[in-house]
Amino acid sequence: MGKPGVGRRLRRALFATLGTLGLIVVATAAEAHSTESALPSYDHVVIVVFENKQYGEIIGSPNAPYINQLAQGGASLTGMKALTHPSQPNYFNLFSGATQGITDDGCYAAQTMSAPNLGQELIAAGKTFASYNEGLPNEGSTTCSNGRYAQKHNPWFAFKNVPLNTGRTFAQFPKDDFGKLPTLSFVVPDMCNDMHDCAVGSGDTWIKNNLDSYARWAKANNSLLMLTWDEDNYLGSNRIATVFFGAHVKQGSVSGAYNHYSLLRTFEDMYGTAHAGNAATATPVTGVFDTGGTEPPGGDLTLATPGPQTCRFYQDCTVQLTATGGKPPLTYRATGLPSGLTTDASAGRVSGKPWQTGTFQITATATDAAGATATVRFPLTVNWF
């Protein structure tokens, strides 16, 4: 028979432990609620994605007067960076928190992926989702290209957990009644109007002609318009413009270090969904809103993994290294490169014409002004043809 009082002592210890755990659970829940409560609960969000322009080609540029009008009337991120090159992996990062193995701009197999993504998460949470794709031949089409339409800018068709009928033509965008819009939607202009094949002015005129009425409506109807870019033009540090305009948006610039994972996390937190891929550890953008959010500190230095890269023998080859956080300025370095490639230490751009073939294991580092270092490794294959 056990000693008297032992059972009572065990029970008291157990209750104390459970009480501590309860406090931890409550604190964690409170922290999550604090992040989400710092974000508006919008009736409608429209996200427009443009192409291949550096931050300075948009913000402050006379070639983009309408976009700058939106930026001045809303909020602009000054520390926003794309994660990689070329275009297509960035679209997957923005939509699903990972490249899903996509490393180039080639056509993907439609309806084959099942990874979590923003569209699937919204639908699971009882919200609605759609994309409006300029040049798409018809609703739900999984064609690779059609005139100036390109599948590579529309990742939603890759996922079998996103209904095909949510992939719509831009002609289906409800210009006569914005209240018919889904909870959240993407608008992707064609290869000219997204600034890929045409000048900045073409995209600026397109957004004014097609979405100015929505922008003005959004401000008065608890809704949001957000513009972002997939990547820069390979000549900078992958810094891109991102503009918020609408209800509950504070006027001014926000300088926190953000990337496409940050944008994904923002909309996930806004609607209380799960988190896809790398969005789970990303910092949401809360400082642009009037609902109590603040800019984050610079945060720990992190360097995004470019993933496997492929180049051709003695042909132009570029790999962009992108770091966020840390104390600027940042210095980049890459070792293990084939002959012919060098690294721009300030821009983080590996470029040149490789004259060795084979697969090279590259080690890339970013170092900030305080001496903090982040390191990633990735394979780079140089083929003859």
Residue 104 has pLDDT above 90, yes or no: yes
* 302-383: CATH architecture: Sandwich (2.60)
Three-state DSSP class for 179?
Answer: helix
| DSSP 8-state assignment for residue 281 | G
CATH of range 44-281; options 3.30.830.10, 3.40.720.10, 3.20.20.120, 3.40.50.300: 3.40.720.10
Residue 5 has pLDDT above 70, yes or no: no
- CA distances (Å), 18 to each of 6, 14, 15, 21, 26, in order? 18, 6, 5, 5, 12
pLDDT of 263: 98
pLDDT of 299: 66
pLDDT band at 297 (very low <50, low <70, confident <90, very high): low
Q: Report pLDDT digits (tens) over 149-207.
A: 999 999 999 999 999 999 999 999 999 999 999 999 999 999 999 999 999 999 999 99
Indicate the domain borders of the chain.
Answer: 44-281, 302-383
Residue 6 has pLDDT above 80, yes or no: no
CA atoms within 13 A on the CB side of 245: 23
| Paired tokens of 272 | 């209380």
pLDDT of 36: 60
Q: Report pLDDT digits (tens) over 303-355.
A: 888 889 999 999 999 999 988 878 778 899 999 999 999 999 998 999 999 99
**252: left (phi > 0), else alpha (psi -120 to 50), else beta?**
left
Three-state DSSP class for 228?
Answer: strand
pLDDT of 242: 98
Between helix 200-220 and helix 65-73 the angle, nearest 10°, is 30
From CA 362, how far away is CA 347, in angstroms rounded?
Answer: 17
Residue 241 has pLDDT above 70, yes or no: yes
Q: Are 265 and 283 in contact (CB under 8 A)?
A: yes
Amino acid at 304: A
From CA 307, how far away is CA 169, in angstroms rounded?
Answer: 32
Q: Report pLDDT digits (tens) over 12-37.
A: 443 344 343 343 333 333 344 445 65
Contacts of 58 (CB under 8 A, 6+ apart): 64, 67, 68, 200, 229, 241
Q: Are 299 and 321 in contact (CB under 8 A)?
A: no
The pairing of beta strand 358-367 with beta strand 331-335: antiparallel
The pairing of beta strand 167-169 with beta strand 129-133: parallel
